[in-house]
Amino acid sequence: MNITNIIAEELNIKEYQVEKTISLIDEGNTIPFIARYRKEVTGNLSDEVLRNLNDRLTYLRNLEKRKEEVKNSIVNQEKWTDEIGVSLENALTLAEVEDIYRPYKQKKKTRAIIAKQKGLEPLAQNILEPKDNISIFDVAKNFITDEVPDTDSAISGAKDIIAEIISDDPDFRKKIKSIYYREGIIETSASKKDEKSPYEMYYEFSEKISTIPSHRILAINRGEKEEFLKVKINKNEDKIIELISNKMIKTNGDRAQLIKESIEDSFERLIEPSIDREIRADLTEKADKQAISVFGKNAKQLLLGAPLKGLTVLGFDPAYRTGCKLAVIDETGKVLDTGVVYPTEPQNDIEGSKKELIRLIKKDNINMIAIGNGTASRESEIFVSDTIKELKEETGIDVYYTIVSEAGASVYSASKLATEEYPDLNVSLRGAISIARRLQDPLAEFVKIDPKAIGIGQYQHDVDQKQLSESLSGVVEDAVNEVGVDLNTATSSLLSYVAGINSSVAKNIVKYRDENGKFKERKELLKVPKLGKSAFEQCAGFVRIPDGKNPLEITAVHPESYNVTEKLLNSIGYKKEDILDKEKLQEIKTKLSALNTSKTANELEVGEITLVDIIKELSKPGRDPREDMPKPILRSDVLKFEDLKENMILTGTVRNITDFGAFVDVGVKHDGLVHISEMSDKFVKKPTDIVSIGDIVKVKVIGIDFEKQKVKLSMKNI
C-alpha cells in the first residue's frame, strides 16, 4: 500500500507535497508551524489540508499495522496463502481487513465450532463438493456418535458449518455491503405512535442509504437511543440470497437443497444482523465526521469573531429568581464593579434595577452592554433597551447593547481556572465577567471553555467524543496561532494552545513572567523551564511582544527570518525601527509593493512564499487579522416577536450552522432558520459555502409560527 499515493489522490495534491509534509510531521513539527513557516516545503498547503493529511496518515499507518498483525496471526495458524496476501494488500479500510481476518479469528463457541468439535466438518465438505453419487443422508450415517445421535443431527451440524463458511467469506461480505449501499433503505417508525416527541417527522420515514444526509442519521440515532424510534434497514434479500447461491450451489438434488437452507440460515442468523450493525456503525462514523467538521468550522468562526477593543463593557447575565448578575470591565479586561439587579420575575424591581444600571453606566463610563442569550434574556433585553433609551433622552449619553452567546459560561464559572482568576468573587458573578469579556476578545475568553460546551454545531454530544475533542483542539490551536498571542498578557489557558506549548509549559511561562517581569524579546522564552529549542522554534512566531526590544516581535515574522527581514528593509533604505513610525511605514508599504518578489527572493536567498509573508507582515505590523471579521450588531431598541410580519427585511447575525441551514439572530427571542433551500437562487451543496458564524446577513421573513415562537427566514432575492 502506497500511503503517499493514496493521500495525494484523496486530497488532490501532489505526491511530493505529501512526502515532504510527512517528513515534517515525523520530525515533530506542529501543524500550525508547518502551515505558517514551512510553506516552501509543503507547496503552501493550508492548515485544514494539513490536518486532513495528518488524520489520514495516522489512519493509514494504523491500517498497515493492523494488516501486519492479521498476517502474523494467519501465518502462525499455518493458513496463509498468496490469495489472502493479495486481498490484504488491496484492503483500503480497517473494516475490509477485519472481514478478511474473520474466518481465522478466535471465536466464541459458535454452533459451527461445536459441530466441528463433533467431527462434522468432512460431512459439510461432502455437502458442498460431493466425491461420489452416494446419498448425503447415507453419508451422514457414518457420522453418528454418542454426541451425534442421528442423521438429522449430523446434517444440522454440517449446515451450521456451511452457514459460518458463507458468513465469513470476505468476498460475499464486500458484495453484500455494496448492495446495501446501492439499494438499501433506512426505515424508521414510532415506538409509541401517540407520544409527542421532537422526532415526529421520523415516526413514518424512509430514505435510501446512498442519499440520507448526516444530520438525519444522528437525529435517528438519538431518537432510537431515547426509545422514541424503531430503526431497520430494508435490503433486497432475494438478490443477496441469489448472489450467494450462484457461487455456493455447485450440485443438485438433496445437497443443493441443504446448501440453500444453509444460505438462508446464514443470511438471517449471521450475515444480516452483523452487516446491519456494520452499516449503521459506518453511517454513524461518517455522520460523526461530518458533524465534527461542521462543528469545527463553526467553532473557528466563533473564536475568530471581531474583538471590540477600547470599550468599557457591562456583562449582563440574565436570570429570574436569583436576579441578573452584572460585571463591569474596562478596556483591558480588569473588573471595575459587580452587582445584582432584579428586573425580571418574580421580583420585577424595574425601578430599583434601572437606578443601579444608570448609576454604573455613569460611574464607570460604560459604552456597551453585553447581554447573555440564555434564560430571561428576552426580558433582560427589553429592560436594558428601555433603560438606555430613557438615559439617552435625559442626558444624551449613548449606550448600546448586543446579545452575546453565554454557552459554557456556567461551566467556566465553576471551573478551577475561574477560581484561580477570581478567588474572591461569587461563582454567579464570574459568568457575567465571561459574557463581557467575550465581546472584548472572543478568542481569549472562549479558549477557557471546553469546546464542546460553546453551543454550536449539531449533535455534538452524540458524536465520538474522543474524535470531537481532538478535532476541536486542532481548531482552537489553528485559531489561536492565526491571531497570535501577547506574551505579556496571555493567560496560561490561551498560551497552552500556542504551537509547541503544552499546559505545564504555559504555566511555567506565566510563572516566569510573574517572577521576572514582562518579556522583552522572544528568545527570552528559552529561559522558561521545560521550554527547549524545539518548542521555541514551534512557538516563537505565534507570540507577540508589543513593546519589546525588537520591533519585529509585534509581527508574525519568525525569529529565524529576522536577518532576511532586516536585509529586505535595508535594501529599500529603512531600518526595522521604522515600521513603528506611521509616516515611514506608509513609505515602506509603497516600496515593498513595488518589489519584484521573485528577483528579491533570489537576491536575499529566501523562498518567494516566505518573502511574500514577510512583506505582508511588514505592511501591517501588529495588526489583528480579526479586524476584517464582521463586528457584532449593536442595538439600542428591541424587536418583539409580535412585531414580525411576513416579507419583512431584517439584519441579523449567523449564530449557528448545520448541514440543513443556518440559524440567524434577528433580535427576537429565538434564532430564525434559513433553510439550505432558502440561502441562494443557485444550488447550495453545504451552508458553509454561503455563510460563516458571526456573519451579518440580510434576511426576509417568510414564515412565522406564533405558537412555537419559530420564524422561517430567506436570503433569496434581497
**Using one digit for the tens of pLDDT, what is the confidence trace for 685-695?**
889 889 888 88
DSSP string across 372-429: ESSTTHHHHHHHHHHHHHHHHHHH----EEEEE--TTHHHHHTSHHHHHH-TTS-HHH
Residue range 422-449: average pLDDT? 89
Query: With 90 as the cut, is the pLDDT of residue 167 above it?
Result: yes
Whether the Cβ atoms of residue 308 and residue 481 lie closer than 8 Å to each other: no
> Which H/E stretch holds residue 340?
strand 335-341
pLDDT of residue 638 exceeding 70, the answer is no
In three-state secondary structure terms, 351 is helix
- Would you state the cell numbers that stand for residue 648, as one nine-digit string? 419583512
- Contact assessment for residue 3 and residue 19, using Cβ atoms and an 8 Å cutoff: no
Q: CATH for 510-628?
A: 1.10.150.310
pLDDT digits (tens, 9 = 90+) for 276-334: 999 999 999 999 988 888 888 888 888 888 888 888 999 999 999 999 999 999 988 88
Q: Give the Cα separation of 136 and 124 in Å (integer).
A: 10
CA distance 555 to 190: 59
Tell me, what's the pLDDT at 375? 84
Dig out the grid coordinates for 179 from the structure. 448492495
Choice between 640 and 477, residue whose per-residue pLDDT is larger: 477
DSSP type of residue 678: G
Residue 447 to residue 696: CA distance in whole angstroms: 23
Give the CATH number of domain 3-104; options: 3.40.30.10, 1.10.3720.10, 1.10.10.650, 1.20.140.10.
Answer: 1.10.10.650
What does the alpha-carbon distance between residue 366 and residue 330 come to, in Å, rounded to a whole number?
8
- Helix ranges (H only) for 560-718 are 562-571, 582-593, 597-604, 608-619
- The grid coordinates of residue 460 equal 455534538
Which of these, 74, 93, 95, lies nearest to 85 by C-alpha position?
74
HSE, CB side, 13 Å, CA atoms: give it for residue 252: 0
**Do the Cβ atoms of 705 and 715 come closer than 8 Å?**
no
36-45, 82-91, 404-413, 510-519: which has the minimum mean pLDDT? 404-413
Reading the block at residue 698, the C-alpha cell is 440580510
Q: Supply the pLDDT for residue 469.
A: 82
C-alpha cell at 504: 505545564
Q: Which of 11-20, 141-150, 294-303, 604-613 has the lowest mean pLDDT?
A: 294-303
**What is the model's pLDDT at position 310?**
84
The pLDDT value recorded for residue 639 is 67
pLDDT for position 376: 87
Where in the chain are all domains bearing CATH 3.30.420.140? 313-440
Q: Quick one: 360 exposed, middle or buried, by C-beta within 10 A (0-12, 13-18, 19+)?
A: buried
User: Percentage of residues in the chain with pLDDT exceeding 70?
Assistant: 98
Per-residue three-class SS string for 73-137: HHHHCCCCCHHHHHHHHHCCCHHHHHHHHHHHCCCCCCHHHHHHHCCCHHHHHHHHCCCCCCCHH
Looking at every residue in the chain, the average pLDDT score rounds to 91
Query: Where in the sequence of the chain do the CATH 1.10.150.310 domains occur?
Result: 510-628
DSSP state of 471: H
> Span 166-182, mean pLDDT?
95
Tell me the pLDDT band of 159, cut-offs 50, 70 and 90.
very high
Confidence grade of residue 697 (pLDDT, cut at 50, 70, 90):
confident
Among 285, 207, 205, 293, smallest CA distance to 687 is for 293
pLDDT of residue 456 exceeding 80, the answer is no
Q: Looking at residue 132, what is its pLDDT?
A: 83
Q: Write phi, then psi, for 503 (nearest 5 degrees).
A: -65, -35
Give, as one character, the DSSP assignment of residue 270: I
Other C-beta atoms within 10 Å of 38: how many? Answer: 19
More confident of the two residues 528 and 451: 528
Q: Which residue has the cell 509547541?
A: 500
What would the pLDDT profile of 81-136 be if each residue is shown by its tens digit?
A: 999 999 999 999 999 999 999 999 888 889 999 999 999 999 999 999 988 889 99
User: Residue 214: CA atoms inside 13 Å, Cβ hemisphere, count?
Assistant: 23
At the top level of CATH, the class of 641-714 is mainly beta
For residue 491, the model assigns a pLDDT of 87
Q: What is the pLDDT of residue 457?
A: 63
Percent of the chain with pLDDT over 90: 68
Residue type (1 letter), 615: I
CB 450 within 8 A of CB 410: no
- Compute the distance between CA of residue 437 and CA of residue 331 in angstroms, rounded to an integer: 9
Least-confidence region, from 450-454, 475-479, 652-656, 678-682 = 450-454
Q: Over 80: is that where the pLDDT of 458 sits?
A: no
**Rounded average pLDDT over 618-638:** 76
- The top-level CATH class assigned to 313-440 is alpha beta
* pLDDT tens digits, one per residue of 218-271: 999 999 999 999 999 999 999 999 999 999 998 889 999 999 999 999 999 999
